[in-house]
Amino acid sequence: MHTQDAAQEPTILVLNSGSSSLKFGLFRHSEGDETLLLEGSAEGIGRSDGTLQIRTPDGRVLEQQEHVLESQTEALQKLAEVLARQHHARPAAVGHRVVHGGPHLRKHQRLTPAVRQRLQDAVHFAPLHIPPALALIDEAAKIFHEAPHFACFDTAFHATLPPRAAQLPLPRRYLRSGVIRYGFHGLSYESLVRRLGADLPPRAVFAHLGNGSSVCALRDGKSVDTSMGLTPTGGVPMGTRSGDLDPGVLLYLMRVEKLDAGALETMLNRHSGLAGYSDGESDMQALEKRAAAGDANASLALDAFATAVRKTVGGYAALLGGIDLLVFTGGIGEHSEEMRKRVCEGLAFMGLVEGDPAGKVKAIHTEEEKQIARHCRALLKEAAG
User: Which residues are designated catalytic?
Assistant: 154
What is the chain's alpha carbon radius of gyration, rounded to the nearest angstrom? 21
Give the integer Cα–Cα distance in Å for 5 and 240: 45
φ/ψ of 168, rounded to 5, equals -100, 155
Give the integer Cα–Cα distance in Å for 335 and 328: 9
- Give the CA count within 13 Å in the CB-facing half-sphere of 180: 25
Whether the Cβ atoms of residue 173 and residue 294 lie closer than 8 Å to each other: no
Strand order of the β-sheet with 22-30 is 61-66, 51-55, 33-43, 22-30, 11-17, 93-98, 149-153, 109-110
Q: Is residue 22 helix, strand or coil?
A: strand
Region label for 41, one of left (φ > 0), alpha (ψ between -120 and 50) or beta (otherwise): beta
Strand order of the β-sheet with 325-329 is 222-226, 214-219, 203-208, 325-329, 361-363
What single DSSP character describes residue 90?
P
Cα-Cα-Cα-Cα dihedral sign, residues 115, 116, 120, 123? positive
Query: Which H or E run contains 66?
Result: strand 61-66
Give the integer Cα–Cα distance in Å for 227 and 305: 13
Q: Which of 213, 342, 185, 183 is nearest to 282 (CA)?
A: 213
